[in-house]
């Protein structure tokens, strides 16, 4: 492969680190400041030490059921491209989680697309389209969780100390995710029109030397949207996404029982929605700060003591991060691709703009 056409994951990560890594560190520190200010950390640590950790076991179990459903959803989205068994998808999904948890800029999404290319010969750009579709549906469901509890947000925004108006953020987020979802569904339902508009845009705005490469990438990207071609398919993806996040909320519920407080399942749905919307912001690897500050704020809005809320959020964060990262690392070490290796399997996509 010519040197100018060589695609390396290490090169991609290095490029992203130039600014996103340090921006993420700054945002994480900012959120951590607001998460911990005014708290008596000794009391929070005492709550961590006194937690009943056996409750984490059913929480981890139900969480991995959700990961399996994620693998099924990705299998479902990829069916128009290739029918791949869920048992093949599950390890790749956990590797993606591992990459997201230890590298900046959600690099795990690129990693799982490249591994899928290596194993199943699915174009990286097409699988990235399905991954973006996943993220959009995730965002829609998270906003649904927030809107189910809009009445509670007044307490969150006025009394918890959390910075920003969450109601306004939810409205803007709804507009953005809905617009993206409608655009993708229309592109899938009317592919010829989408192709024509893309080609017109490329010819008008891009120099000739880039047109073929960008056009090829976008055509493969559109191929990855075929699973949204019918409303029934889109509804199935939406239903599956709701199941995924309800299962993850189940983990929040089990971990809650390790501590001396109790809130409703709907309150934990709100917490899940808010923290996962916040973790879409750049942050340090592992979503440090962007997970913790809004999580503590939601619990305080429900009257939970700040130190107990901080202890619970810390334990929950670790319980969400560590098991799937360990499983993903296990599967990663069992397969040949590495961050520093040249990815020979993307020869057909030498100019992948990821």
Tokens 């056009």, residue? 215
Residue 336 tokens read as: 């040949």
Close Cβ partners of 220 (under 8 Å, ≥ 6 residues apart): 123, 125, 126, 129, 349
Q: Are 63 and 320 a contacting pair, CB within 8 Å?
A: yes
pLDDT at 322: 97
What is the mean predicted confidence (pLDDT) over 327-339?
83
CA-wise closest residue to 96 among 116, 76, 119, 66: 116
Backbone angles phi, psi at 342, to 5 degrees: -70, 135
The pTM of the full predicted model, rounded to 2 decimals, is 0.82
CA-wise closest residue to 302 among 161, 156, 148, 169: 156
Close Cβ partners of 30 (under 8 Å, ≥ 6 residues apart): 289
**What is the pLDDT confidence band of residue 283, given thresholds at 50, 70 and 90?**
confident
pLDDT at 48: 97
98-102, 153-157, 190-194 — which is least confidently predicted? 153-157
Distance of CA 109 to the CA centre of its chain: 9
pLDDT at 340: 52
| CA–CA dist 351, 214 (Å, integer) | 8
Q: Are 182 and 300 a contacting pair, CB within 8 Å?
A: no
Burial of 326 (0-12, 13-18, 19+ CB in 10 A): exposed
Does residue 175 surpass a pLDDT of 80?
no
83-87, 247-251, 286-290, 318-322 — which is least confidently predicted? 286-290
pLDDT at 182: 85
pLDDT at 188: 82
Q: What does the pLDDT look like over 112-163, one tens digit per residue?
A: 999 999 889 998 888 988 998 898 889 889 888 887 876 666 655 555 555 4
Residue 107 tokens read as: 């690099």
Proportion of the chain above pLDDT 70, given as a percent = 83
Helix (H, G, I), strand (E, B) or coil at 268: helix
| CA–CA dist 233, 240 (Å, integer) | 11
**What is the pLDDT confidence band of residue 7, given thresholds at 50, 70 and 90?**
very low
The single-letter DSSP state of residue 265 is H
| CA–CA dist 99, 103 (Å, integer) | 6
Distance of CA 51 to the CA centre of its chain: 28
Residue 22: enclosing H or E segment and its boundaries? helix 22-36
Averaged pLDDT of the chain: 83
């Amino acid at each position: 492969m010519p040197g100018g056409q060589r695609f390396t994951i290490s090169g991609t990560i290095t490029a992203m680190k130039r600014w996103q890594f340090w921006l993420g560190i700054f945002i994480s520190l900012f959120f951590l400041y607001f998460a911990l200010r005014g708290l008596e950390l000794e009391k929070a640590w005492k709550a961590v030490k006194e937690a009943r950790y056996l409750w984490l076991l059913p929480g981890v179990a139900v969480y991995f059921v959700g990961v399996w459903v994620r693998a099924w959803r990705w299998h479902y989205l990829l069916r128009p491209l290739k029918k791949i068994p869920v048992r093949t998808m599950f390890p790749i999904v956990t590797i993606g989680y591992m990459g997201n948890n230890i590298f900046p800029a959600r690099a795990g999404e690129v990693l799982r697309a490249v591994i899928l290319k290596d194993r199943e010969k699915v174009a990286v750009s097409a699988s990235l389209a399905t991954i973006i579709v996943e993220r959009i549906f995730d965002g829609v469901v998270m906003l649904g969780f927030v809107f189910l509890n809009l009445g509670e947000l007044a307490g969150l925004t006025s009394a918890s100390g959390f910075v920003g108006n969450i109601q306004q953020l939810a409205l803007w987020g709804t507009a953005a995710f809905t617009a993206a979802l409608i655009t993708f569904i229309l592109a899938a339902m009317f592919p010829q029109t989408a192709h024509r508009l893309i080609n017109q845009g490329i010819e008008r705005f891009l120099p000739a030397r880039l047109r073929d490469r960008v056009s090829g990438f976008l055509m493969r990207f559109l191929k990855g949207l075929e699973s949204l071609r019918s409303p029934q398919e889109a509804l199935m993806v939406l239903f599956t996404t709701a199941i995924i996040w309800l299962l993850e909320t189940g983990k929040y519920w089990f971990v809650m029982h390790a501590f001396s407080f109790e809130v409703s399942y709907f309150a934990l749905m709100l917490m899940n929605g808010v923290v996962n919307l916040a973790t879409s912001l750049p942050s340090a690897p592992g979503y440090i700060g962007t997970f913790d500050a809004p999580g503590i704020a939601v619990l305080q809005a429900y009257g939970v003591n700040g130190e107990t809320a901080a202890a619970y959020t810390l334990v929950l964060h670790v319980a969400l991060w560590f098991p799937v990262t360990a499983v993903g690392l296990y599967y990663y070490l069992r397969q040949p691709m590495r961050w520093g290796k040249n990815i020979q399997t993307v020869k057909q996509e030498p100019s992948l703009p990821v």
